[in-house]
Amino acid sequence: MKMYFPLFGLFLLSCSSYNHSNYGFEIENCSNLNDTLVRKDGFYTEILEKGHTSVRELFFIGENVVKTNGSSYDNEYDRYTFYKNYKEVYKNEILKSKYCIVGKRIFAYVNQSIIKDCIIHACSDLIYLNFEGEIKNKDSIVNWHLVPPFPKFNKKEMELNKDLFEPKTLIFVKSDAVKKLNNPQNQ
């Protein structure tokens, strides 16, 4: 059952439209000299409340950053298969998703699924958004939240997406699946 949810999420994302905004910061000129402050042998995720089985993952592939919603796997093989397929389907979007580290601050321009207010029910849209946080240490990023420019939300959409604005602590989880993505010769 756990594997069906991410595949369903991948299907929903593939039906979404894309809206490419500008970077909210000078990420294009960033050299990522502090690249060693983040780990690339796993993913960062929110500290979840008990009872939650899916995770929102943030991981780094080279100079790109990937944010997924809803993946949940009991083993690394299934996790790797999902990542590999995600990487192939969203290759162009991943190449546009960048991050920049300035001192201890991390900025990211990533593809993010948001909830839209449709006529009959809520639907999702995949757009590029800007996030910022502070690297506490290699195993945690604090105060991770959405920063301007913000998407245009109506009142109901603002309520549906309020979690994007709330600062979060992301903790690191080691994952051989992500490590393989960063070392193609090991695949």
Identify which has the larger pLDDT, 55 or 64: 64
User: What is the Cα–Cα distance from 26 to 185, expressed in whole angstroms?
Assistant: 32
Q: Report pLDDT digits (tens) over 16-56.
A: 333 334 545 556 666 655 678 888 888 888 866 555 555 67
Residues in the chain, total = 187
Q: How many Cβ atoms from other residues are within 10 Å of residue 115's Cβ?
A: 17
Identify whether the C-beta of residue 59 lies closer than 8 Å to the C-beta of residue 66.
Answer: yes
Each domain of the chain, given as residue ranges in start order, spans: 4-181
Weakest mean pLDDT among 54-68, 70-84, 159-173 = 70-84
Reported as a single tens digit per residue, the pLDDT across 96-145 is: 778 888 889 999 888 787 777 776 766 777 788 899 999 999 999 999 99
Strand partners, 112: 127
Q: What is the mean pLDDT of residues 82-102?
A: 74
- pTM comes to 0.73
Please say if the pLDDT value at position 1 is more than 60. no
Residue 19 Cα to chain centre, angstroms: 16
141 close to 169: Cβ distance less than 8 angstroms: yes
What gap in Å lies between CA 138 and CA 59, rounded to an integer? 13
Say what the pLDDT of residue 132 is: 93
Query: Is the model's pLDDT at 187 over the cut of 50?
Result: no
- Encode pLDDT of 149-181 as tens digits: 888 887 888 888 888 889 999 988 887 777 777
- Please give the pLDDT value at position 184: 58
Q: Binning pLDDT at 50, 70 and 90, where does residue 14 land? A: very low
Cis ω before 149 (30° cut-off from 0): yes
Residue 42 is predicted with a pLDDT of: 82
Q: What is the DSSP string of the chain?
A: -TTHHHHHHHHHHHTS-EE----SS--TT---TTGGGS-SSEEEEE-PPTT---EEEEEEETTEEEEEEEE--SSHHHHHHHHHHHHHHTHHHHHH-EEEEETTEEEEEEEEEEEEE-SSSEEEEEEEEEEEEEEEETTEEEEEEEESSPP---HHHHHHTGGGTS-EEEEEEE-HHHHHHH-GGG-
